[in-house]
Structure 1
Amino acid sequence: MRLAVISDVHGNRLALDAVLADIALQGVDGIVCLGDHVSGPLDPAGAADRLMTLDGPVIRGNHDRWVIATDRQADRVDQFAAAQLSAGQKSWLADLPATAVVGGEVFLCHGTPHSDETAWLDNFWHDRVTTLPSEASVAAHADGIDYPVLLCGHTHMARSVRLRDGRLIFNPGSVGLQLVHGSPDARYGLLERRQGRWLSRINVVPYDTEAAAAQARANGFASWVKAITTGWAGPEGMF
């Protein structure tokens, strides 16, 4: 089995198109998507249109919940995304599951198996610094999730961790919003079972970041431009 793993598109349809074009060259058996699909000041509806055509499992992230929530005050980015989406696209978001399993071996979640708001393989940023949590903390979130591969997103930081019992936890990074990577290129993951063992790989794909930044500016979100065009910025002030 060979899967492409995408996450955290954040409404960046231009980055998503570049990633999907690259995936088409990889000979994968399917594409899985780990959430936070539309919350970004670029092209939320265009990103939703692309993702709604995928035939692999697509789960929701915390921002997918927040975009359509009626019981909380949405931030300005989620408000923008909600205003761009059609009723059908909002219905699609509402119907997405929190988790999924592929082939009886690959478990999908956005943050951790029990929370789409909790970071798993990276602590949240302090200024521009993020670190791997303790081994005990990482393993605790995997307790009782008895699949060989556990996929997560949310932090935008690509990382692959192998637990002592052999289980693989894999975050493919973000398609649409690079933070403190030092590169603006889109990221996605390849996951492959070879000779009974699961292997992971991060793929880095350039795209037209200037065009994406122009969308953010035109929509009134200049605070997104540095992250989109350089990949050096942290998340402060973006949401």
Structure 2
Amino acid sequence: MKIAVIADIHGNRLALEAVLDDIARQGVDGTFNLGDLVSGPLEPNWVADILMDIDIPTVRGNHERELIDNPPDRLKPVDRFAQTQMEARHRGWINALPPTLALLDDIFLCHGTPTSDMDPWLDNWWDGRTVTTPDEATVAAKAEGFDYPLMLCGHTHVPRAVRLKDGRLIVNPGSVGLQMNLGSPDARYATIELRGGKYYPSFHAVPYDHFAAARQAEANGFPQWREALVTGWVGAAGLF
């Protein structure tokens, strides 16, 4: 069995289409999606349409929760932009997304950690522009009570895999649509293959027309997204 994992699209249709094309060449048995789907100043409605059409297992992220729970005047600018682009069918689909999902008795999907869509699991990216990694005890504590051989998370946009002492594997595939601190604008995702009873992760960086994505963000009134989309060097501060 081989699966693909995507996360943190943030309304970036161009990046999503490039990743889906690359996944199609991988020969996977399924694709899973870990949330933060539409909240970006790009093409959130188109992204929603694509995801609704391919109908893959998907959990909501913290930004979907914000869109569900708040009227426009209580949203931050990027979430408010995304909400204004959503049609009723998009909102209904987002409202129905679960916060977590267990599949095949072996795989667990969440956005941040199993108990929080805001808590980072394998790293921290909001300490300025410095990515920090938690210690083993911190990572293991957030997995307590979730005895799945493979656990998938997103939220921090940093691709990483951690294998706990008991063999459980935790994978963050990185972000499809918004690179931070990585020094590359390429869209990110992961594939994971089950061989001989063990999961083997691989990470993928996919070139796409990031200059066109940056122009979309600027045209929609969010020039601060340009550096992130073009360089991949920025931190999260000031983007949302």
Preserved CA contact (<8 Å) 1:121 1:132: yes
Query: 1:216-235 residue pairs with structure 2 within 5 A?
Result: 216-235=217-236
* 1:48 partner amino acid: A
Deviation at 1:235, TM superposition (A): 1.3
**Letter of the structure 2 residue corresponding to residue 140 of structure 1:** A
Confirm or deny: 8 A CA contact 2:16 2:176 kept in the other structure. Answer: yes
Q: Which residue of 1 aligns with 2:54?
A: 54
Alpha-carbon distance in structure 2 between the residues aligned to 1:107 and 1:202 = 19
Matched residue type, 2:171: F
Amino acid paired to 1:14: L
CA shift, 1:190, in A, is: 0.1
Structure 1 position 135 matched with structure 2 position 150: no
Give the conservation status (yes or no) of the 8 Å contact 1:42–1:212: yes
Matched, 1:22 2:29: no
Q: Is the 8 A contact 1:31 1:54 kept in 2?
A: no
Q: Does 1:194 align with 2:203?
A: no
- Counterpart CA distance in 2 for 1:226 and 1:110 is 25
> d(CA) in 1 for partners of 2:89 and 2:31?
22
> Normalising by structure 1, what TM-score?
0.98
Q: Distance in 2 between matches of 1:218 and 1:69?
A: 28
Equivalences for residues 1-239 of structure 1 within 5 A: 1-70=1-70, 73-239=74-240
- What secondary structure is seen at the aligned counterpart in 1 of 2:131? coil
Measure how far apart 1:125 and its partner are: 2.2
Whole-Å separation in 1 of the counterparts to 2:144 and 2:134:
16
What is the CA–CA distance in structure 1 between the aligned matches of 2:53 and 2:30, rounded to whole Å?
12
Deviation at 1:223, TM superposition (A): 0.4
Moved more, 49-58 or 166-175: 49-58
- CA distance in structure 2 between the partners assigned to 1:99 and 1:20 by the alignment: 22
**Aligned partner letter, 1:67:** L
Give distance in 1, aligned partners of 2:2 and 2:103.
11
Unaligned runs of 5+ residues in structure 2 are: none
- TM-score normalised by structure 2 residue count: 0.97
CA offsets, 1:182-205, max 9 Å, x none? 000000010110111101011110
Alignment gaps of 5+ in structure 1? none
Maintained 8 Å contact 2:110/2:152? yes
Give, in angstroms, the shift of residue 131 of structure 1.
1.2
Identity %: 56
SS at match of 1:161: strand
SS in 1 for 2:4: strand
- Name the SS for the 2:161 alignment partner: strand
User: What is the Cα deviation at residue 134 of structure 1?
Assistant: 1.3
Cα pair 1:68 1:82 within 8 Å, conserved: no
Considering only aligned residues, what root-mean-square deviation do their CA atoms show, in Å?
1.0
One-letter amino acid of the structure 1 residue matched with residue 127 of structure 2: H
CA distance in 2, matches of 1:225, 1:21: 24
Quick one: distance in 1 between partners of 2:236 and 2:149?
A: 32
1:127 is displaced (CA, Å) by 1.5
